[in-house]
Amino acid sequence: MIRVDGRGDSKSLIQVRGLTKTYRRGGEEIHVLQRLNLDVDKGDFVAFMGPSGSGKTTLLNLLGGLDVPSAGSITVDGDEITHMSGSKLTHWRARHVGFIFQMYNLIPVLTAFQNVELPLLLTKLSSSERRKHVETAMSVVGLKDRMNHYPRQLSGGQEQRVTIARAIVSDPTFLLCDEPTGDLDRKSADEIMALIEELVGKHGKTVLMVTHDPVVAARAHTTLHLDKGVLVEASQLKQEVVAGGVA
């Protein structure tokens, strides 16, 4: 169950407490996230929405260990990541996080197979074991017959599928998706969302997704809005808007 009130139990897969991120631009301090709380259980699928500059991507970066908070803590599967050293965090990312980016970010000079294999090169798996894992991941995203294609030989939707295969190939604890359909047409976006739903429903993956698109967000279990640096549940936001309107 997803909670933003900081009262989730310690069994939550992801526990965020008092997360604060402040940037300094010129002489001015910009408070992007302010004492934010979040609890996400295994198998949850949560979408983050909010206007540009509201801190969605910052939150995703913090959850993925790509950035460090100004204050607060993030605990994932019992590991507190906020105080990990840079190299420890790198190893933690390799083990626990699968990233799906808006622009796919595949390596153009590697084939789909080689792109998906990249995270496995950081493990001790043998070449044949890696092949097996890559083939499984490519089957999940329905591109087993495109393994030897280069990114330029694939459509946008197919490229994003390869990105998803790369994200899931090492069986990470959770997936972070930053606008996964932002660069796709509606049909391809639907296919990608169907795939992400399948990863959650069929394979039990935990997915945290940033999106601008309400249609895409509606496919998540819960949609959270980032507003003035804090998370608000969609239903609560609706009530606040209505209350504001009546007043």
Partner 1 sequence: MKFWRLIVANLFRKKIRLILTIGSFAIALLLFTFLAVVQSAFNRGIDIAGADRLVIVNRIGLIQTMPISYADKIRAIPGVKFVTQNHWFGGVYQDEKNFFPQFAIDVENHRQVYPEFKVPDDQWKTFVQDRQGAIVGARTAKRFGWKVGDRIPIKNTLYGPTKTWEFNLDGIYSTDKASGDESQFWFQWKLFDENVPAYAKSTAGWYILKLDSPDDAVRVAKVIDTEFANSSYETKTETESAFAAGFAKQFGNIQFLIVSIGSVVFFTLLLVTGNTMAISVRERTSELAVLKAIGVTDRSVLFLVLGEAMMIALFGGLLGLLLAWLAIPGLSVALNGLLPPLLLSKTMLSLGLVFAVFVGMVSGLIPGVGAMRMRVVNALRRV
CB of 121 to partner 1, least distance (A): 4
CB of 103 to partner 1, least distance (A): 6
CB closer to partner 1, 64 vs 157: 64
CB of 231 to partner 1, least distance (A): 20
CB of 11 to partner 1, least distance (A): 26
- Count of Cβ atoms closer than 10 Å to residue 7 Cβ: 8
CB closer to partner 1, 67 vs 213: 67
The residues that touch partner 1, with contacts defined as CB under 8 A, are 61, 64, 66-67, 86-87, 90-91, 93-95, 99, 101, 103, 105, 107-110, 114, 118-119, 121-122, 166
CB closer to partner 1, 121 vs 241: 121
CB closer to partner 1, 22 vs 114: 114
CB closer to partner 1, 13 vs 66: 66
CB of 7 to partner 1, least distance (A): 30
Is residue 40 exposed (0-12), middle (13-18) or buried (19+ Cβ within 10 Å)?
Answer: buried
Is residue 138 exposed (0-12), middle (13-18) or buried (19+ Cβ within 10 Å)?
Answer: buried
